[in-house]
């Protein structure tokens, strides 16, 4: 069976790290590129974290590219309060000798998609600045990609970066809106789905005792978010936002979604970055994405534990 070709744009970030651990473990996936974008923490941390994570997950042959340092418009927004100043909550990874490739993320993404027309799935789990830049510089890119799976937005649930907006979309609303208007084949994995995509403390403990350094790292960094998730999402576990998007790219059957129209507010002050959709409304517009809103959580958890047992 042909492997699924994945290009992962991320802002590691602890849940980005978890997504990379899972992607690297998945036998059905071939990671053809990783790009870092400013988001959870500045690029000066997300890029080194991406390099260290590819070394840690035996992806030493996978090229890593630097993307955008700041949003298309507006001020830089970070989430160090969740991910720590270094992006990995102070957890160190083994030393390595990897360096980033010289070409920027948007050039590399276009080259990869053109090399494998219709076969590359872009998994975008940070602010969409680099993706929007790539689409702007290369108008043929949306049509070259098999699919773009995006972790972002909050449709019918409150935001996590403002009352209205999820972090990735608030960090660069113009980029998110541009990608939603791009004509690419989009799957949107918003908080509506990812808040249901969690591991319980017992499942995290099961992962920790798998014994590999990678499984222990995953369980440790995500386990530290359990109190935050309890206080902010009211769930007894660790929500896995970016792994949910990655898992959809590999196992869409775990999720429930619907074709709908989606857009992002860029003008208003209070609702800037808010994801609007007709998925739950009678006022329908032409669909531009598949919006995910539910997950088979036990199967999601089993799949994650099975993948992490591969290390
Ligand atoms: O809102 C969750 C998203 O914002 C995740 O991608 C997390 O890594 C942060 O970037
Ligand atoms: Ca992220």
| Listed residue (50, 38, 126) closest to 93, CA to CA | 50
Could you tell me which residues are beta bridge partners of residue 311?
none
The neighbour count for residue 113, using CB atoms within 10 Å, is 26
Average pLDDT over residues 281-286: 89
Tell me if residue 241 is catalytic. yes
Looking at the predicted structure, is the pLDDT value of residue 1 above 80?
Answer: no
Could you tell me which residues are beta bridge partners of residue 199?
238
Residue 274 pLDDT: 98
Reading the block at residue 35, the tokens are 């790009």
Dump pLDDT digits (tens) for 108-117.
999 999 999 9
Looking at the predicted structure, is the pLDDT value of residue 310 above 90?
Answer: yes
Residue 4 pLDDT: 98
Considering the chain, what percentage of its residues have pLDDT values greater than 70? Answer: 100
- Beta strand 275-277 with 147-151 is unpaired
Residue 20 pLDDT: 98
Average pLDDT over residues 2-16: 97
Residue 40 CA: which ligand 1 atom is closest? 10
Is there a contact between 163 and 267 (Cβ–Cβ < 8 Å)? no
What is the distance in A from the centroid of ligand 2 to the CA of 165?
A: 15
Q: How many domains does one find in the chain?
A: 1
Average pLDDT over residues 273-289: 94
Tell me which of 39-43, 152-156, 281-285 is least confident.
281-285
Q: Which of 163, 164, 168, 189 to mutate to test the pocket of ligand 1 (most atoms within 8 A of CB)?
A: 168
What is the distance in A from the centroid of ligand 1 to the CA of 1?
A: 32
* Confidence category of residue 2, pLDDT binned at 50, 70, 90: confident
Average pLDDT over residues 141-158: 98
Task: Ligand 1: list residues with CB < 6 Å.
Answer: 11, 13, 15-16, 39-40, 79, 125-126, 151, 160, 166-168, 241-242
Residue 166 CA: which ligand 1 atom is closest? 1
* Confidence category of residue 166, pLDDT binned at 50, 70, 90: very high
Is there a contact between 227 and 221 (Cβ–Cβ < 8 Å)? no
CA distance 98 to 16: 19
* Confidence category of residue 282, pLDDT binned at 50, 70, 90: confident
Q: Which of 45, 83, 110, 241 is catalytic?
A: 241
Dump pLDDT digits (tens) for 202-242.
999 999 999 999 999 999 999 999 999 999 888 999 999 99
> What range does the domain containing 122 cover?
4-308
List the CATH number of the domain containing 66: 3.90.245.10
Dump pLDDT digits (tens) for 94-111.
999 999 999 999 999 999
Residue 242 CA: which ligand 1 atom is closest? 6
**Higher pLDDT among residues 43 and 281, named by residue:** 43
Ligand nearest the Cα of residue 39 is 1
Residue 160 CA: which ligand 1 atom is closest? 1
Tell me which of 36-40, 232-236, 295-299 is least confident.
232-236
- Residue 311 CB contacts under 8 Å (≥ 6 apart), including other chains: 21, 25, 210, 212, 213, 214, 215
Ligand nearest the Cα of residue 10 is 2
Q: Which of 241, 243, 245, 248 to mutate to test the pocket of ligand 1 (most atoms within 8 A of CB)?
A: 241
């Amino acid at each position: 069976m042909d492997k699924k070709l994945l290009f992962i744009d991320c802002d590691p970030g602890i849940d980005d790290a978890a997504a990379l651990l899972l992607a690297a473990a998945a036998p059905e996936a071939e990671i053809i590129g990783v790009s870092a974008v400013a988001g959870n923490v500045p690029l000066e941390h997300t890029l080194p974290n991406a390099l260290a994570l590819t070394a840690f997950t035996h992806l030493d042959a996978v090229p890593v590219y630097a993307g955008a340092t700041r949003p298309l418009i507006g001020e830089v927004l970070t989430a160090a309060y969740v991910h720590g100043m270094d992006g990995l909550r102070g957890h160190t990874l083994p030393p390595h000798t990897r360096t980033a490739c010289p070409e920027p993320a948007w050039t590399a993404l276009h080259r990869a998609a053109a090399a494998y027309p219709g076969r590359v799935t872009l998994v975008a789990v940070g602010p969409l600045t680099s993706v929007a830049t790539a689409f702007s510089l290369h108008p043929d890119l949306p049509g070259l990609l098999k699919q773009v799976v995006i972790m972002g937005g909050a449709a019918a649930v409150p935001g996590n970066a403002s009352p209205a907006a999820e972090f990735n979309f608030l960090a660069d609303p113009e980029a998110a809106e541009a990608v939603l208007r791009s004509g690419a084949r989009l799957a949107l994995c918003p908080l509506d789905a990812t808040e249901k995509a969690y591991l319980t403390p017992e499942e995290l403990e099961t992962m920790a005792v798998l014994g590999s350094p990678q499984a222990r790292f995953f369980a440790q960094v995500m386990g530290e978010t359990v109190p935050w998730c309890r206080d902010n999402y009211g769930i007894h576990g660790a929500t896995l936002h970016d792994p949910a998007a990655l898992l959809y790219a590999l196992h869409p059957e775990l999720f429930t979604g619907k074709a709908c129209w989606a857009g992002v507010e860029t003008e208003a002050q209070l609702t800037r970055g808010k994801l609007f959709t007709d998925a739950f409304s009678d006022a329908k517009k032409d669909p531009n994405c598949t919006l995910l809103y539910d997950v088979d959580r036990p199967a999601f958890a089993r799949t994650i534990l099975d993948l992490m047992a591969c290390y």
